Amino acid sequence: MSDNPSFILQAVEKVTFEERPIPEIGDDEVLVEVKKTGICGSDVHYLVHGRIGDFIVDNPMVLGHESSGVINKVGSKVKSLKKGDRVAMEPGASCRSCEDCKRGKYHLCEEMKFAATPPYDGTLARYYRLPADLCYALPDNMTLEDGAMMEPLSVAVHSVSTLADFKPNQSIAVFGCGPVGILCMAVAKAFGARRIVAVDIVQSRLDFAKSYAATDVYLPPAPEPGESKMVYSKRNAALMKEKLGITERGAKSIDLVIDASGAEVSIQTGFCIGKTGGTFVQVGMGASDIQIPVSMLMAKEMTYKGSFRYGPGDYKLAIALAAQGKLDLKPLVTHRFPFKDAVAAFQATRNGKTGDGKMLIKAIISGPDVPVDAV
Ligand SMILES: [Zn+2]
Ligand SMILES: [Zn+2]
């Protein structure tokens, strides 16, 4: 059986729409009719480069992984969901039996089948198959767009809460005001942050961060001609500390640094402004090999953690925060596209804005035949 229009990456810069077979589901799986899908930097990266690190697109692959939908069919052993339920979709099925799965780190599973990570197809299709326990019923006060936002929000929850164990009255600095950076600020705010510092090189993104969650914003200066990255970063950090009154210890220090930019100078600056004994979580992905001030990391005894997707409890907490109104996802969905205009959605995400100049934070593509204004 077909009737499963899908948006497929064929090769670098080459996408097509194709009918694919409707997936068959197992006893413990569900078939979801995908309604809303957010476009992520990683989707765009595959389109432009055909790879992210060691994940290489060798064969045609359906794009998309930030999705919500409505249950179309359930397997014979599924009791938690029924046809018609609205769900947020956690788009990675782990093996459930390896050491990482069994120690509660299923996101590190070697056998992970993650949507739109080669060779596995993504969610930009009419139908997507998932184990039932990876579909989370949406409370009535959440829209399907909110449901699609649970994916990037879970990335933020994983970094700020699960990995950094952020506490009320702590302070955070976030480098990079893209969707994940903004959502990290939103989670910190929901957790009762004392101070939220946003850093970006684009003033309009700082303006948005300030209106949304940040208490302070900082626009780094341009590097001097010939200045090395590390020299620049130390100068930048000194300036940032002076301008914002950030100290090494005490009430004006930064408990948690999040890098959501992947930029080498942001990471270097982050080590310089983080407090003695503080935590630094790396969630942004940029150049794979960078220089860090390791003696500073040691002398300040900072904790530096890598963050990868999300794991046990992250989706549930993300949904709880949204359902309880602890954060508002609506201002983040700046652009909406019908399925047939998926190419335009990718182009806009790539540019960070549309032709009319409107800044893009998150673009959402509706499922095939789903109206864009049905949120
Ligand atoms: Zn994503
Ligand atoms: Zn596993």
Provide CATH code, domain 5-137+329-366.
3.90.180.10
Calculate how far, in angstroms, residue 91's C-alpha sits from the geometric centre of ligand 2: 15
pLDDT band for 1, please (50, 70, 90 cuts): low
What's the CA gap between 169 and 71, in Å, rounded?
Answer: 40
Q: What is the mean pLDDT of the chain?
A: 96
Cα 97 to chain centroid, rounded? 26
Identify the H or E element spanning 32.
Answer: strand 29-38
Tokens (6 digits) for 238: 């000194």
pLDDT band for 288, please (50, 70, 90 cuts): confident
Q: What's the pLDDT tens digit per position in 153-170?
A: 999 999 999 999 999 999
Calculate how far, in angstroms, residue 132's C-alpha sits from the geometric centre of ligand 2: 17
Calculate how far, in angstroms, residue 110's C-alpha sits from the geometric centre of ligand 2: 6
Closest-lying ligand to the alpha carbon of 178? Answer: 1
Does domain 156-306 sit in CATH 3.40.50.300?
Answer: no
Residue 2 has pLDDT above 80, yes or no: no
Calculate how far, in angstroms, residue 155's C-alpha sits from the geometric centre of ligand 2: 19
Residue 233 has pLDDT above 70, yes or no: yes
Which whole number is the average pLDDT over 61-70?
A: 97
Which whole number is the average pLDDT over 365-375?
A: 92
pLDDT band for 223, please (50, 70, 90 cuts): very high
Q: How far is CA 264 from CA 50, 106, 176, 271, 330, in A?
A: 23, 29, 12, 11, 31
Q: How far is CA 374 from CA 49, 66, 84, in A?
A: 33, 17, 16
Q: Is beta strand 195-199 parallel, antiparallel or unpaired with respect to 216-218? A: parallel
Closest-lying ligand to the alpha carbon of 116? Answer: 1
- Domain boundaries defined on the chain: 5-137+329-366, 156-306
